[in-house]
Structure 1
Amino acid sequence: MEAATPLPFAQVCVRNGRLAIDQLVVDDQTTVRLASEREDPARFVLEAIEIGARVLDRELTGANAEFVRAEFEKTARELDAEFAERARVASERLDLKIDEAFGPENGHVSKALARHFGDESSVAVQNRVKSVVGEVAVQMREDLRKQFSGDGDSNPLAAFQRAMLAIVKQTSDQQADGQRAMGEKLEAMKVEIAELRAEKEKLAEIAAVQDKGTAKGRSYEEAVAEALEAIAVARGDDCDAVGDVRGEGGKKGDVVVGIDACAGPARGKIVFEAKNRKLSKNDALAELDGALQARAADYAVLVVPAEGKLPARTHPLREFNGDKLFVTFDPEDDSTLALEVAYGLARARVLMARAADGGLDTAALRAEVERAQRAMEDVRRIKSQLTNASTGIDEARRILDAMAAGVRAHLGAIDALLAAATEAETSA
């Protein structure tokens, strides 16, 4: 921006913080052009003056900063040179003083250190400290021994010692009680283990007996099946061992007999359940009901090896509910009479129930069945009497053998007496 051409009558002054311009004419073409393009020339003049003033102020500030920077650099160079000189002089003086104080031969500090810390010096610090520490340690050990060996209040560990002794005693008592309780528990456990071992052995024995009984029951079942097979063949019936064959409701029922099945369709079925163990009456009847249902039979017979295996308060060849019967059969006995009677009775009951199939004389058949039952009762009674008689004969034979042994003993005594008498006569 070019400077304005002052007029002789122009007045520029500053009053009360304001710039006043009167009769000022500006010939700068740029200023004139910009002012002519503005709608408010007065506003433009104010902005131009303000902006120009700020630019001038910034330029003056930059010029002052350059001047200050140049002066500072000049002063810094002078100070650096002066400081380097002073540092050199100070370093020389410091080296001299350090040599005087810390020189290895004539330094004051080296001499003092050698005097106070040298091993050869008697007044060395470590030697004096060692001597003092030794004396203090001896005194402290003596004082501590006296203090901690006493039982009085001067001993700070007396209460602790008493408390520790009480705790040790309590712990010892608790440990003894615990060991005593543990010993009692061990004894109880030993007894329990012995009981468990005995129970285990007993269970093993029971299991062995049960296995043996199962095997025995299986052999008994096979014996009953063989006997029934012989009886059925003689009557033209079909006999099947079905103990291992599952029926409609399970495996109940060991032997199934089909009446007249050898000549055509079976006229009825009889199921036999062989048991080598004693059952209650209700269990036995339940077994037979299950066998009837499982084998779709018309009559069921429970076969046991002896009267002692029959349900309580029951007798052989006694019917129940018109379709169940108990009978005894001992395979070791050669007689199958009871089994034959039970077979015939069951067969007759089935055929009587189906009398319309063949015009069967049920009255005559029923009479014969009743006579067969009475005859079987007579056979059972006589057999029992024979058994009792046989038992009496065996007892008499045992008594006779005992008497014979007594007679032989007496004869031996007589022989001994005779031998003694003979020796006496020979000596005389």
Structure 2
Amino acid sequence: MIDLSGLATTRQITLRTVVHVLLDRGAVSRAELARLTGLSKQTMSEVFRDLEGGGWVQIAGKTQGGVGRSAATYELCADRALVFGADVGGTKVQAALADMHGTILAEMIEPTDARGGEQVIAQLARMSANLAGRAGVPKERIFMGSIGIPGAYDERSKRLFMVPNIAGLEGSPLAERLESATGFAVHVGNDVNMAAKGEQWMGEGRDVDNFVFIALGTGVGMGIINERQILRGARGAAGEISTLPVGADAFDGRTFHAGALETSIGSVAIRGRYEGWGGVAGLTVRQIVDRVAEGDRIAAATLDAVARTLAEAILAVSAVVDPERVVLGGSIGARPELLERVQHFLPLCMPSPPQCTISQLGSRAGLYGTVANSLDWLRKSLFQTPGYDIPMPEAKPLEAMP
């Protein structure tokens, strides 16, 4: 991350320790830093010479010591190292640039390049540079990036698979190619996993060690936070609950590719069920759900069936990962009419159901998740010393986002 090869190993470790104290504590005096780290005054002076020379710290103000005495306080230059995050969908890309404290400096939304493949990679590289320009900082200050994408990313092979919505990315080494195009480190993950990360950082998972985020819309997907870590699985496909044998026959060829659960409660299934039961033809799922409040009994019965099947899926998930909370999102999952019904059915199929709630982040959960993921990796990488592993805390949640 930062070239400290000319410094002794102990100095590298010391620098890294001081940086992370400054990240956690904010503005502090040298004396307080020495107390927190156990470093001598002479060592602290040497550390600050290195940090100030590299543009990493600045004077924040003064603090009162004893009577008539004051000391300068120091803080990190938050924009000295920036992180990039992008939530890539089949139709649009949401991207943002943030400083070391997680404050969003610039963000933008563009339609996903329909040509896919290398053109999407070039689009992401261009967006990162444009965001740096909008924030008024050199693009070379971007040290870390994270990409959320509708597919699975195999950490062993470093390749994407199960990417039906974006042409030309199946089997692609996306992280490697994007790193070459941008010059900064890149991490890739499933978009629903990133949304779960966003919920952990800024949403309904902030105070929960174990929860799942279920996105229900055109399809159905799930991100799992287990002991405060994203659970990815052997091939990055953990949470692909569309294939759960719930709601339909897993051995039916018609469910083989989309998955039994998705063919039962995805948007196509909802419209088909509603029309098959005699509902008005040609309505969108949103319109169908809206008609529940208008007294449409077929719409209500359709939503009842979806909620009952979703409750069964949550029962299956709970048997495996035991979440304390289930956060629902997506165009269908975020509807309170569905939540009310799921909360009704859960106690009827399990004795101790998890708490269910709706995401308050909406479509921004995935974007926040990519930023939070980049911040975590930045903390792990800053002043990293080969052979030494100092535990790094996770990015702290912010009270408000600009």
TM-score interval for Structure 1 and Structure 2 normalised by the shorter chain? under 0.3
Compare relative contact order (CA 8 Å, sep 6+) and give the higher one, 1 or 2. Answer: 2
Please report the TM-score for the alignment, with normalisation by the length of structure 1.
Answer: 0.19
**Hey, which of these two has a bigger chunk of strand by percent?**
2
Please report the TM-score for the alignment, with normalisation by the length of structure 2.
Answer: 0.20
**Bigger CA radius of gyration:** 1
**Hey, which of these two has a bigger chunk of helix by percent?**
1
